[in-house]
């Protein structure tokens, strides 16, 4: 059986390729930053896996997200089996749509708004009573995240050369939830099952990509994060009510692979703020948990495609 991987960042491929090959798949790689789509021709046989990151533009692949949307539509139009297809990808590239879906499933989120243009963003900022953060609507790698507790600082930021509205020019403003113990928690879900949860320390900022490729300074520009000690296994279990809500959301939205993040405040309230369909795993945490996420995905595909 062929496993076709649609990707734009080769640094994230090795664990997935290894997992698929270990389960007997023939892996076929498809670069998604240029190319043709022949709508009148059926796609090659096999399962297709979407590994497109919303941060692809930071690697010079500014057309990749748009191209992936059309490729997924082509695949689904021909009835191909697609992992994290169009419905999942719509969430992957929109923080605003993520918030809507989370609230639909009864999951608490920080107050979240979005806008285009400095005037609109200033008006939105005035509606926050406390600290808030900015982020890119089409996010990834913690891009565009800045914390503000003073309006003057936000105004200065909007007028500065450092202000970046993001690749789709939609900027998100979101209520800031201060972590009670200095970490956020990421829940990994594969094929409708809880894999494990991981804690990520926030004392060095918001760029928290867990991939091993992101932990090696200067090896790659994919994620500007140094060191792996910021990640540790969480005691969260599958039976947790929030985890069960995440699983239901993934099943509803066609997310076969997902990493969903929440933060807990001093009152013990948990706020969910991010859904990662192009999730990556930290090998040290995975070893401690005794789970290989990409191998679990490959096993699921092998069993379901028989």
What tens digit of pLDDT does each residue of 21-61 get? 999 999 999 999 999 999 999 999 999 999 999 999 999 99
d(CA 24, CA 298): 9
pLDDT tens string 93-117: 999 999 999 999 999 999 999 999 9
Beta bridge partners of residue 228, listed in sequence order: none
Give me the domain span that covers residue 32.
2-91
Nearest one of 161, 141, 110, 155 to 205, comparing CA atoms: 141
Residue 38 shares a structural domain with residue 10: yes
Residue 66 shares a structural domain with residue 129: no
Domains contained in the chain, number? 3
Residue 14 shares a structural domain with residue 30: yes
In a domain, 268, yes or no: yes
Predicted pLDDT of residue 273: 97
Beta bridge partners of residue 184, listed in sequence order: 200
Residue 194 shares a structural domain with residue 282: yes
In a domain, 97, yes or no: no
Residue 80 shares a structural domain with residue 118: no
- CA angle at residue 192 from 71 to 67, to 5 degrees? 10
Using 70 as the pLDDT threshold, list the residues of the chain that sit under it: 204-228
In a domain, 203, yes or no: yes
Residue 188 shares a structural domain with residue 235: yes
Residue 49 in 3-state DSSP?
strand
d(CA 291, CA 286): 5
Residue 193 shares a structural domain with residue 216: yes
In a domain, 304, yes or no: no
Query: Domain end: 131, 154, 175, which one?
Result: 175
**What phi and psi values does residue 263 have, to the nearest 5 degrees?**
-130, 140
Q: Strands 81-83 and 171-175, how do they pair?
A: unpaired
Query: Domain end: 160, 175, 190, which one?
Result: 175
Residue 53 shares a structural domain with residue 135: no
Nearest one of 40, 42, 95, 33 to 65, comparing CA atoms: 33
Give me the helix-helix angle, 293-304 and 13-22, nearest 10°: 40
Residue 83 in 3-state DSSP?
strand
Residue 9 shares a structural domain with residue 52: yes
pLDDT tens string 195-218: 999 999 987 655 556 655 554 443
Residue 151 shares a structural domain with residue 65: no
d(CA 77, CA 134): 37
Residue 208 shares a structural domain with residue 286: yes
Query: Domain end: 175, 196, 212, which one?
Result: 175
In a domain, 283, yes or no: yes
Nearest one of 172, 175, 180, 174 to 202, comparing CA atoms: 180
């Amino acid at each position: 059986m062929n496993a076709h991987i649609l990707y734009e960042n080769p640094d994230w491929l090795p664990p997935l390729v290894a997992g698929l090959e270990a389960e007997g798949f023939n892996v076929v790689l498809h670069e998604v930053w240029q190319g043709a789509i022949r709508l009148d021709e059926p796609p090659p046989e096999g399962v297709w896996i979407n590994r497109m990151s919303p941060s692809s533009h930071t690697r010079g692949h500014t057309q990749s997200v748009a191209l992936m949307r059309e490729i997924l539509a082509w695949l689904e139009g021909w009835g191909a089996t697609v992992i994290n297809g169009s419905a999942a990808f719509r969430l992957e590239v929109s923080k605003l749509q993520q918030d809507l879906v989370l609230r639909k499933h009864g999951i608490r989120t920080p107050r979240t708004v979005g806008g285009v243009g400095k005037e609109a963003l200033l008006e939105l900022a005035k509606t926050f009573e406390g600290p808030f953060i900015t982020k890119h609507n089409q996010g990834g790698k913690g891009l565009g995240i800045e914390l503000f507790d003073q309006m003057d600082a936000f105004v200065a930021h909007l007028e500065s050369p450092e202000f970046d509205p993001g690749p789709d020019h939609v900027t998100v403003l979101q209520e800031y939830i201060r972590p009670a113990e200095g970490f956020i928690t990421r829940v990994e879900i594969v094929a409708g099952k809880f894999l494990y949860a991981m804690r990520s320390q926030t004392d060095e900022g918001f760029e928290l990509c867990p991939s091993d490729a992101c932990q090696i300074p200067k090896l790659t520009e994919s994620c500007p994060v140094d060191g792996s000690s910021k990640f540790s296994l969480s005691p969260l279990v599958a039976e947790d009510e929030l985890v069960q809500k995440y699983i239901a959301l993934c099943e509803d939205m066609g997310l076969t692979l997902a990493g969903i993040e929440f933060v807990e405040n001093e009152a013990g309230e948990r706020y969910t703020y991010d859904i990662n369909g192009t999730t990556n795993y930290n090998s040290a945490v995975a070893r401690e948990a005794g789970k290989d996420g990409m191998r679990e995905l490959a096993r699921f595909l092998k069993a379901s495609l028989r």
